[in-house]
Structure 1
Amino acid sequence: MVSVNDDCRDIHFRKAGFDPEDCPPNCSKPCEKVCPADAISLKRVMVGEHAQSDPICDKLEGGVIMERCYGCGRCLSVCPYDRISAMSYVRDPATTAELLKRSDVDAIEIHTTGKGIGMFSTLWNSLGESINNVKLVAVSLPNAGASTIDFMNATYTIMQSNLEGYNLWQLDGRPMSGDIGRGATRETVSFAVDLTSVQDRPLGFYQLAGGTNLYTVDCLKKAGLFMARTLPGTRTTEKVGSQEALIGGIAYGGYARKIVGRVLRKIPSELGRVRIEDHPGYLLEKQPRFSRGCVLGKS
């Protein structure tokens, strides 16, 4: 899947940045501690001939590891010296269109802020006929209140003319917050509940994202929006709620990163240098709580 955005204000397309030489050497480095992706690494070093006795000669080296940073923004608020900034960007539509022509890319995720249908239309038209190469188009959007359904229907109208694959609406109730705690999932489930009361919502599958974690499935069950299905190799089917359950899936972002990161830190001591893709059962075996949270509903 390739991800693209229609607005530079989209928080999914930003990176943290700062110059470590601007940081006081004796900083407690709260940014390093709060980062859920281990994307900040700072090391105190001494420079100069009198470094051993002169603390002024100390400095910090390192900074943000860009390939790990996913823009959650938690480091921005904890910096005691306000030295960290967010660098936003918009992915080039022309480059994205070329990627969609590759045989190993069969899906696209379009992030939109829901603040202007014109920006989405411009992006969609820029992708051109390359969109016909994918099997799935996922549109990720936040809850904009009463205007959300109108925006979704306008978006679907734009896509419908050359949409040949499946379309999926990703309900981003509380972006990048699933690993914070139980309360984070309430907003995304509330988003889904609001949509169930609307009859003229656009066609397509619906998936929860943003604030999803261990408690999301239970919250969906309580709201009557979850229905499990039997998968190959299983014995039972559990049905909860309506046969026409709205939610077709759950996407785990920050929560999954937290679990996977924990496993990745343990694997070297137990298995040596290996690819986690070659040990698919390792996550479920070592993290039973993760398996509980990764149940998919069926629409």
Structure 2
Amino acid sequence: MFLVFTDYNFIFSKTFSHLNCSIGLDVQDGVITERCYGCGRCLPVCPYDKIREVTYVRDAATTADLLRRDDVDAMEIHTSGRQSAQFKELWCALGDSVENLKLIAVSLPNGGASTISSMNEMFSIMKPNLQCFNLWQLDGRPMSGDIGRGATKETIAFAIELAKAINRPPGFLQLAGGTNAHTIDGLRKKGLFQTTSIAVDSSNSADALIGGIAYGGYARKIVGRVLRSMQSEYGGAARIEDHPQHLLMALKEALALVGPVKCS
């Protein structure tokens, strides 16, 4: 299981109410609350305006209890890269529950000259009870999903800046925000796509400058093409699990995207 804290308020998040479907379709509720992490993308695309936003508070103590169940492997904390006091508040509230994790990811945008100092400050907060791998997710162009070659320039520039910084804290670097099919080529041209050897302290590893690439909006776009094709043929309530040919098409699209990263 992968737990995500969305937005920078950490213990505050959003969910959306279930749909009481009244549009004549034989489908279950449109939003599965347990799987919703508050991205909000469903709101503008529902043609019937049936989805309602509900704000709730995810108590840090409740989250700590979830982590102590020992069936959560990783946690991602989205930050603005500026407000370390809130980060410390969350981290201290989670207490020793984070010791059950295998990976902790901290997402941050490019804060310019203050980026490295912010990373070091957050790492110093985590270090006393950090007993697993840590990863810095570099949001070069947050939530873009653009497909053009130029869209990935910002995230690659962010990666170059962090890779050459000798005083950055330990942790793998992962690109996000603006990543697409052109990202790997851009990294290779800059000599950053080298993942054949990985050291625990990745800040000192010449062979692990970039530890991964996160494909969010772009991945949804390419897989979404398959879903739309299936729905146009079988109706909007069709499930891809019931149509193996479309499921295979979606898997091929996904593997073509992540394969070069996984197999390197």
Q: Same fold (TM over 0.5)?
A: yes
Instruction: Tell me if 1:259 matches 2:222.
Output: yes
Partner amino acid, structure 2, of 1:293: L
Task: Report the 3-state secondary structure (helix = DSSP H, G, I; strand = E; otherwise coil) of the residue aligned with 2:229.
Answer: helix
1:275 to 1:229, Cα distance in 2 relative to 1, 3 A: farther
Task: Report the 3-state secondary structure (helix = DSSP H, G, I; strand = E; otherwise coil) of the residue aligned with 1:161.
Answer: helix
Instruction: Tell me if 1:155 matches 2:155.
Output: no
Asked if the contact 1:187–1:211 (Cα under 8 Å) also holds between the matched residues in 2, the reply is yes
Instruction: Tell me if 1:41 matches 2:28.
Output: no
Displacement over 6 Å in runs of 4+:
87-90
Q: Distance in 2 between matches of 1:151 and 1:274?
A: 43
Compute the displacement of 1:2 (Å). Answer: 0.5
Which stretches in structure 2 are left out of the alignment for 5+ residues? 17-39, 198-204
Task: Report the 3-state secondary structure (helix = DSSP H, G, I; strand = E; otherwise coil) of the residue aligned with 2:129.
Answer: coil
Q: Distance in 1 between matches of 2:144 and 2:43?
A: 16
Instruction: Tell me if 1:293 matches 2:226.
Output: no
Task: Report the 3-state secondary structure (helix = DSSP H, G, I; strand = E; otherwise coil) of the residue aligned with 1:199.
Answer: coil
Larger radius of gyration: 1
How many aligned residue pairs are there?
Answer: 228
CA deviations over 1:216-237 (Å, ceiling 9, x no partner): 111111111112559xxxxxxx
Asked if the contact 2:146–2:180 (Cα under 8 Å) also holds between the matched residues in 1, the reply is yes
Compute the displacement of 1:91 (Å). Answer: 4.3
Instruction: Tell me if 1:218 matches 2:219.
Output: no
Compute the displacement of 1:260 (Å). Answer: 2.4
1:298 to 1:130, Cα distance in 2 relative to 1, 3 A: farther
Task: Report the 3-state secondary structure (helix = DSSP H, G, I; strand = E; otherwise coil) of the residue aligned with 2:250.
Answer: helix
Instruction: Tell me if 1:202 matches 2:169.
Output: yes
Compute the displacement of 1:95 (Å). Answer: 2.5
The RMSD of aligned alpha carbons is 3.6
Task: Report the 3-state secondary structure (helix = DSSP H, G, I; strand = E; otherwise coil) of the residue aligned with 1:157.
Answer: helix
1:90 to 1:262, Cα distance in 2 relative to 1, 3 A: farther
Compute the displacement of 1:133 (Å). Answer: 1.1
1:91 to 1:208, Cα distance in 2 relative to 1, 3 A: farther
Match of residue 119, structure 1, among 68, 79, 86: 86
Task: Report the 3-state secondary structure (helix = DSSP H, G, I; strand = E; otherwise coil) of the residue aligned with 2:64.
Answer: helix
Residue of structure 1 in register with 2:241 after alignment: 275
Residue of structure 2 in register with 1:93 after alignment: 60
- Give matches, 1:64-103, under 5 Å: 64=51, 91-103=58-70
Partner amino acid, structure 1, of 2:193: F
Q: Distance in 1 between matches of 2:220 and 2:57?
A: 23
1:173 to 1:88, Cα distance in 2 relative to 1, 3 A: farther
Structure 2 length-normalised TM = 0.73
Q: Distance in 1 between matches of 2:15 and 2:150?
A: 26
Q: Distance in 2 between matches of 1:94 and 1:107?
A: 17
1:221 to 1:173, Cα distance in 2 relative to 1, 3 A: same
- Give matches, 1:118-197, under 5 Å: 118-179=85-146, 181-197=148-164
Residue of structure 2 in register with 1:32 after alignment: none
Q: Distance in 2 between matches of 1:217 and 1:120?
A: 31
Q: Distance in 2 between matches of 1:187 and 1:130?
A: 35
Asked if the contact 1:93–1:123 (Cα under 8 Å) also holds between the matched residues in 2, the reply is yes
Asked if the contact 1:245–1:298 (Cα under 8 Å) also holds between the matched residues in 2, the reply is no
Partner amino acid, structure 1, of 2:261: L
1:15 to 1:145, Cα distance in 2 relative to 1, 3 A: farther
The farther-off stretch of 255-264 and 151-160 is 255-264
CA deviations over 1:143-194 (Å, ceiling 9, x no partner): 1011111111111111111011111110011110023533221111100011
Residue of structure 2 in register with 1:52 after alignment: none
CA deviations over 1:238-266 (Å, ceiling 9, x no partner): xxxx9524101000110111122222333
1:218 to 1:204, Cα distance in 2 relative to 1, 3 A: same
Asked if the contact 1:100–1:134 (Cα under 8 Å) also holds between the matched residues in 2, the reply is yes
Percentage identity across aligned positions? 51
Structure 1 length-normalised TM = 0.65
CA deviations over 1:107-134 (Å, ceiling 9, x no partner): 1001111111111111100111111111
